[in-house]
Amino acid sequence: MHCCCLLWSRVEVTRKAVRYHETILVVEDDESYQILIREAFRAVGVQNPLQFASSGFEAIAYLMGEGKFSDRSAYPYPTFIITDLNMPAGSGLSVLDHTKRNKDWDIIPKVVLTSSEDPDDIRKAYRLGASCYHLKPGSQKELCQFLKTLHEYWMTCKVPEVDYRKTG
């Protein structure tokens, strides 16, 4: 069940912005799937900070740096988002909509990882700025392979900086 790779290995911090490939925000309401994702990331050698939000509304509060998320040393600004779609208390679509409406954040890579095969969900996700749309793998081994493939792809991409201080 172990894959090997490194993910989002390095961050460069400037006065104005955080560069990509560091903190990953996972938006997933199912605690058991959160654990599977964390274990899969670690199994493939990812040591980067993983932050979890249990709903779309919680993810938006995280992005805005509101409430408990105001401490950016404890809750670093995410430079990559993986979101489920169907969650109580704010869907993944609300996260996509929020980032799309903020011109400084709409460039953040956003991966939809969901069980929904609904063509309307797929269409809405892309219209709201999803970078890609994937169905949840059925096993830990498949999840590990997915994360390995995702990493290999994103690590070859050039991505712009995001000014995390702007809340638009």
**How large a percentage of the chain has pLDDT more than 70?**
82
pLDDT tens readout for residues 26-39: 999 999 999 999 99
Nearest to 139 by CA among 29, 8, 43: 43
Distance between CA 81 and CA 25 in Å, rounded? 5
Confidence (pLDDT) at 62: 95
Tell me the residue type at 143: L
Supply the pTM of this predicted model.
0.83
Confidence (pLDDT) at 11: 33
Confidence (pLDDT) at 166: 55
Confidence (pLDDT) at 20: 44
The DSSP H or E segment spanning 135 is strand 132-135
Q: Count CB neighbours of 84 within 10 A.
A: 24
Confidence (pLDDT) at 119: 98
Spans of the chain below 70 pLDDT:
1-21, 155, 163-168
Query: What residue segments make up the domains of the chain, in order of their start?
Result: 24-155
Contact at 8 Å (CB) between 79 and 11? yes
Confidence (pLDDT) at 163: 65
Confidence (pLDDT) at 164: 62
Matching CATH number, 24-155, of 1.20.970.10, 3.40.50.2300, 3.20.20.70, 3.40.50.620: 3.40.50.2300
pLDDT tens readout for residues 84-111: 999 989 999 999 999 999 887 888 899 9
Distance between CA 106 and CA 130 in Å, rounded? 9
Confidence (pLDDT) at 4: 34
